Amino acid sequence: MLRRVSRALLASALVSLLLGTAFGFGQIPVGDHPRSIAVGDFNRDGWDDFAVANELSNDITICLAKGDGTFDCKVDVVKYDAYKPVIPMAIATGDLDNDGDLDLALAACGLTLETKTDPYGQPYVVGFFNIFTFKGKGDGTFSLDKKYLAGECPRAISLADLDRNGKLDIIIANSGTNDLTLFIDAKKKELKLVKDAKVCATPVALAVSDFNRDAMLDVAVACSEADEVWAFLGDGKGGLEVSQIVGVGSRPLDVKAGDLNRDAKPDLAVANSETNDVWTLFGDGTGKFTVHKRYRVDQAPSALIVQDFNGDCRLDIAVTNALANDVWILSGRPEGEFEAVAGKFAVGDRPVAIASGNFDPERDIYPDLAVANELTNDVTILLGIGAGRFAPFMIPPPNQPPVADFTWTPQVPKIGETVKFDGSASHDPDGQVVSWWWDFGDGTTGTGKTVEHVYQKENTYKVCLTVTDNLGAKSEPKCKDLTVSAVPPPPPPPEAVKAPTVGKEPSGLASGDFDGDGDEDLAVANQGSDDLSILLGAGE
């Protein structure tokens, strides 16, 4: 669960981040080794969600924004049927079928086999697939739609309308076969290049824009082993033709397009992992590019995005640095210059992918960032707060359930006697108890912190109390045995005191201490029996 930081905590976080010190914020758990992230409103509630391709768990995590700064992340909302991807490497989102709901396109490095069974019960392979599309249902769930076979180990995927028919096409960069694959109108279309069907060694990233301003989309490809960026011009029919090959830094891992110098001509930004820098290439509006400048960043830049983060109408660059575990912001300046004035922002271990969206529950004007961290298996959300700076969403510990406890009086009630139960001993470690539910063990229940109950039969009853806290968490039932005894019978009447006996026809009485014990005694003269009875006093 994510919560917005307070102003004091935010200030402390910014100081820690700008100084490069550790700051204890949490990440959103996803699958094993997240490699790619795509942002979009998957359930059409007006909030940006995100999807993550997980390389080692072979699945997709869908995280839906709740609108209060929290996300609900699940892996079971994408239905693969019998065609689960193997080693997913790249994911993209767009409305592939023009139904108003966002869909997903996934590229996997491994092959998924389609098998059938022969008449003898033996399975045999009938097809291989490594590209999958999943139809969005508009509620945050997806089902397998189509499956294709591209080149070996595709590493990048983009969606764009290359043939200008109003439908998104799929562009794949295949790092294993050093080529591109296009799926135009859901049909595989081989590239027709000027010199060769291959592209540079190990294509790993794609950027799409109209480089020569002819209203037809073009493609740039970053090739990590060749240290090159290839620019292709689109013909508006789904075909691409090489326009230029530009040498860049060592091991480029990402490329993005944008008008960096505000001359209305698309430019390119390239992240070079081994030379620890970002290169800007200025476009001339004909599909040609020249290297403008090299900007030093942190260790092993792995991914970047181009966007206006500070609201000054100039594009900025956000770059993830895989070995430094941070994000750098290069703020745009006049004439297409950049400056790392906004500082660096800590994320998880080995960030490899980055995307932007509006995740802030306050819906401010500043773009936010989602960063996929490969080794910590999570996504860091950074809130844009203006001036090109970002602050982490805080993830508090999960809500702890309350603990129920109670007492009662009298301790051993009798049949028909009122028993008073008190749940005041219940407590919540991180909130407050707001409701109490009682089970008296005789088939009846009650509610309230203190309740009264009368038992009608002699028995030992198991009384249980369950409490709920202010966030809706329920306690484990606390149960205790209560014994109800029968009403005891009334005590027997006291024995009558026997009157002392004397002689016949007592006619005289005198008193005195005849035995010297300090108690008064009696002497009775009996006329009928001519004798004297002495009654010794017992002091009672």
pLDDT of residue 494: 72
Looking up residue 476, the CATH number of its domain turns out to be 2.60.40.10
The arithmetic mean of pLDDT across residues 118-144, rounded, is 91
What are the pLDDT digits (tens) for 57-100? 999 999 999 887 788 999 989 999 888 999 999 999 999 999 99
Q: Is residue 220 part of a domain?
A: no
State the average pLDDT for the chain: 88
φ, ψ of residue 36 to 5 degrees: the values are: -150, 150
Between β-strands 123-136 and 154-160, what pairing exists: parallel, antiparallel or unpaired? Answer: unpaired
Q: How confident is the model at residue 393 (pLDDT cuts 50, 70, 90)?
A: low
User: Which amino acid is residue 475, in one-letter code?
Assistant: S
Q: Which domain holds residue 425?
A: 407-484
The verdict on 55 and 144 lying in the same domain is: yes
The verdict on 415 and 510 lying in the same domain is: no
The arithmetic mean of pLDDT across residues 249-257, rounded, is 98
Percentage of the chain lying above the pLDDT 70 cut = 90
Calpha distance 128→168 (Å, rounded): 23
The arithmetic mean of pLDDT across residues 442-455, rounded, is 96
Lowest mean pLDDT among 9-18, 151-160, 200-209, 272-281: 9-18
Q: How confident is the model at residue 385 (pLDDT cuts 50, 70, 90)?
A: confident
The verdict on 145 and 40 lying in the same domain is: yes
For the beta sheet containing 531-535, the strands, ordered from the edge strand earlier in sequence to the opposite edge, are 506-512, 521-526, 531-535
Q: Is residue 457 part of a domain?
A: yes
Calpha distance 318→389 (Å, rounded): 11
Structure tokens at 424: 């005041």
The verdict on 58 and 130 lying in the same domain is: yes
Question: C-alpha angle 158/161/164, rounded to 5°?
Answer: 165
Q: 135: alpha, beta or left, given left = phi > 0 and alpha = psi -120 to 50?
A: beta
Lowest mean pLDDT among 176-190, 202-216, 412-426: 176-190
Report the b/e string of 203-215 with b at 16+ CB within 10 A.
bbbbbbbbbbeee
Q: Is residue 236 part of a domain?
A: no
Q: Is residue 472 part of a domain?
A: yes
Distances (CA, A) of 538 to 515, 516, 533: 11, 12, 16
Calpha distance 43→101 (Å, rounded): 8
What are the pLDDT digits (tens) for 217-235? 999 999 999 999 999 999 9
Q: Count how many domains the chain has.
A: 3
The verdict on 75 and 142 lying in the same domain is: yes
Q: How confident is the model at residue 394 (pLDDT cuts 50, 70, 90)?
A: low
The verdict on 421 and 506 lying in the same domain is: no
The verdict on 507 and 474 lying in the same domain is: no
> What is the H or E stretch that residue 15 is in?
helix 7-18
Q: Is residue 289 part of a domain?
A: no
For 232, what's the count of Cα atoms within 13 Å in the CB-facing half-sphere?
32
Report the b/e string of 502-536 with b at 16+ CB within 10 A.
bbeeeeeeeeeebeeeeeebbebbbeeeeeebebe
Calpha distance 500→519 (Å, rounded): 16
Q: Is residue 100 part of a domain?
A: yes
Calpha distance 379→5 (Å, rounded): 17
The verdict on 78 and 41 lying in the same domain is: yes
The verdict on 44 and 121 lying in the same domain is: yes
The verdict on 457 and 514 lying in the same domain is: no
Q: How many residues does the chain have?
A: 540
Residue 24, pLDDT > 70, answer no
